[in-house]
Amino acid sequence: MALNVLSHNIMHIIIAVLAGVLFIVSLLTYLRTKRNKFMFICGAFLVFSIKETILAINIIASGTDPLMMFTHFLDLVILTLFALGIFK
């Protein structure tokens, strides 16, 4: 059980960091190109990173349930696909 909680906490940290990296990459792209679509993408990744940071702090402090673990796994998959799309 403790390993499950630890992996859940680590998943939140990974998601928050990945969203933060994607925010920085999209911000640099926006500053270079000045295309509005990158500004919206940048904003989305910033909000996602903030959300995950808040969730990570809350879950580390108060715990979680199994269904939440699955939804965070899906968040990680979504961000990974975005990262692959941006970096390729």
Which runs of consecutive H residues, i.e. helices, occur in 34-63?
Answer: 36-62
Q: What is the pLDDT of residue 74?
A: 81
Q: Answer yes or no: is pLDDT of 72 > 70.
A: yes
Q: How confident is the model at residue 57 (pLDDT cuts 50, 70, 90)?
A: confident
Q: What is the pLDDT of residue 77?
A: 85
Quote the CA–CA distance of 18 and 25 in Å, as a whole number: 11
> What stretches of the chain adopt beta strand conformation (E)?
none
pLDDT in tens, 9-43: 788 788 888 889 989 999 999 899 988 888 888 88
Per the structure block, which two tokens stand in for 2? 């403790």
Q: Answer yes or no: is pLDDT of 67 > 70.
A: no
